[in-house]
Amino acid sequence: METVLKIDSLEKYYGNKGNITKAIDNISFDVKKSEFLAIMGASGSGKTTLLNCISTIDRVTSGHIYLDGTDITKLKGNSLNKFRREDLGFIFQDFNLLDTLTAKENIALSLTINKESVKNIEDKVLKVAKELEITDILDKYPYQISGGEKQRVASARAIVTNPKLILADEPTGALDSKSSRMLLEKLENLNDEFKATILMVTHDAFTASFADRIIFMRDGKIFSSITKGNKTRKEFFEDIIEVVTLLGGDLNNVI
């Protein structure tokens, strides 16, 4: 299977001389095309920093990140913006929808930023909306819809440009369990149907159990990694709990 994302000995330090915090300490891993990868870890394990580096929001200290062969740590200015709008899709914990735009306009916005031709915009929006079952709320404003619906709109916005990689930062963090399950099923669906490559950061074992593979992080390093393979989700969930227990007391209280 073809590699989409390749992380090569990545390091990210904060602070200055004499007082250095290694947020990411020499990490390397690959993500294959149409893989659903989860990264798990406690607060401060470096998982969000990793996501920020991949999304080019933050600069790396050393190492390389290749997306489809391009080293994105070398991108600057316009090519950086171009990379973000064409190759990446974002899903955030707090949705990050624009309050003044309707659901439909929020989804369309990432297409207009991408300079999609006008005649295609509405069709594309409608197609993903159908997939995520949000056609009924397309004309509503974010303050008129529920958290789960908001996150599905945000997911639609992330997928509509057909990006190489979707980055999801704690997508279920602000949702109740019913909405969480529904959203994750939809993400799973996008992964299957659209062959979307998803990289999700979470500290929740249930959320992580929807992924194909999980990388566990602790103190900026990779602690271990497990693959779902042919296991059922329930079995996979139990595997995750085992690793989490090994990871230390930190995560126990999360579950």
Residue choice 55, 151, 179, 209 for contact with another protein (CB under 8 A): 55
Residue 143 sits in the site that holds another protein (CB under 8 A): yes
Measure the CA–CA gap between 49 and 53, rounded to whole angstroms: 6
Question: Contact between 59 and another protein (CB under 8 A)?
Answer: no
Instruction: Give all strands of the β-sheet with 19-32 in edge-to-edge order.
Output: 19-32, 3-16, 62-67, 70-71
121 lines the binding site for another protein (CB under 8 A): yes
Kindly state the smallest distance separating residue 82's Cβ from another protein, in Å. Answer: 7
Examine residue 81 and tell whether it contacts another protein (CB under 8 A). Answer: yes
> What is the C-alpha to C-alpha distance for residues 45 and 216, in angstroms, rounded to an integer?
9
Q: Which stretch binds another protein (CB under 8 A): 4-12, 96-104, 126-134, 203-211?
A: 96-104
Of 14-22, 41-49, 114-122, 230-238, which part binds another protein (CB under 8 A)?
Answer: 114-122
Other C-beta atoms lying within 10 Å of the C-beta of residue 241: 16
Nearer to another protein, 22 or 85 (CB): 85
> Segment 148-177, which members bind another protein (CB under 8 A)?
157
Q: Are the C-beta atoms of 37 and 14 separated by less than 8 Å?
A: no
Is residue 199 a contact partner of residue 31, using CB atoms and an 8 Å limit? Answer: yes
197 three-state secondary structure = coil
**For residues 142 and 169, is the Cβ–Cβ distance under 8 A?**
no
Give residues in contact with another protein (CB under 8 A): 55, 57, 78, 81-86, 88, 90, 96-101, 105, 108-116, 118, 121, 141, 143, 157
